[in-house]
Amino acid sequence: MKPTNTLFPIFLRTDRLHILIIGGGSVAEEKLHFLFKNSPDAHVTVVAPEISDAVLTHAGQYDISFHHRKYESTDIELGDLVIAATDRSELNQRVRKDARSAGKLINVADKPDLCDFYLGGVVTKGDVKIAISTNGKSPTLAKRLRQLLEKNLPDELNVLANHLHRVRPLFGSDFKRKVEKLNTLTETLIEN
């Protein structure tokens, strides 16, 4: 099949990054829920005149701070990455402009045309993480695939990753030989 999804997935070190969210309603809450589920070490600032109780309940458990006021252009400096999730489309456009002028990447929640990056479905088994994108075609399909893999991928996947991590240094410093050994050891994984 011809690849039509040209997005390139990366895995962010959220412990080193600051994420700025403009808006504190239900869309912000959805983004925060999945952000902290995957990256409980993320550093987050929320700016909005009204911040829902659901958003506020993240305080205490995570590193999240709140500014109960309207967005100001200088706020953009607070984030390495920005998510705009207000109910005002002109404001979301303005946040996007500010972010791009400051060289920051932005996701305007639920407005694919205004996004530099999309969020995806994420499946985690310990150290193993799989990200899912439908190229914006169907977030519901991304959610269902996430649930399917969460249910069906065995927890042993993490055990395997840790075993392989432990044997990695045992194959010596010859890189080519090491790769061969590890490939042989894991061959059965891709057999039908």
Ligand X SMILES: C[C@@]1(CC(=O)O)c2cc3[nH]c(cc4nc(cc5[nH]c(cc(n2)[C@H]1CCC(=O)O)[C@@](C)(CC(=O)O)[C@@H]5CCC(=O)O)C(CC(=O)O)=C4CCC(=O)O)c(CCC(=O)O)c3CC(=O)O
Residues forming contacts to ligand NAI in the complex (CB under 6 A) are 22-28, 47-51, 70-71, 85-88, 91, 110
Q: How many CB atoms lie within 10 A of CB 109?
A: 20
* Closer residue to ligand X (CB): 90 or 191: 90
State the Cα–Cα distance between residues 162 and 175, nearest whole angstrom. Answer: 20
What is the amino acid identity at position 142? Answer: A
Specify the 3-state DSSP secondary structure of 118.
Answer: coil
80 binds ligand X (CB under 6 A): no
The region of 40-48, 49-57, 114-122, 160-168 touching ligand X under the rule CB under 6 A is 114-122
Minimum separation from the CB atom of position 161 to ligand X (A): 22
Minimum separation from the CB atom of position 72 to ligand X (A): 24
C-beta pairs of 97-104 under 8 Å, 24+ apart in sequence? 98/73, 102/76, 102/77, 104/76, 104/79, 104/80
19 touches, from ligand NAI, ligand X, none (C-beta below 5 to 8 Å by class): none
State the Cα–Cα distance between residues 179 and 2, nearest whole angstrom. Answer: 30
Binding site residues, ligand X, CB under 6 A = 30-31, 34, 107, 109-110, 112, 115, 118-121, 133-136, 138-140, 142-143, 146
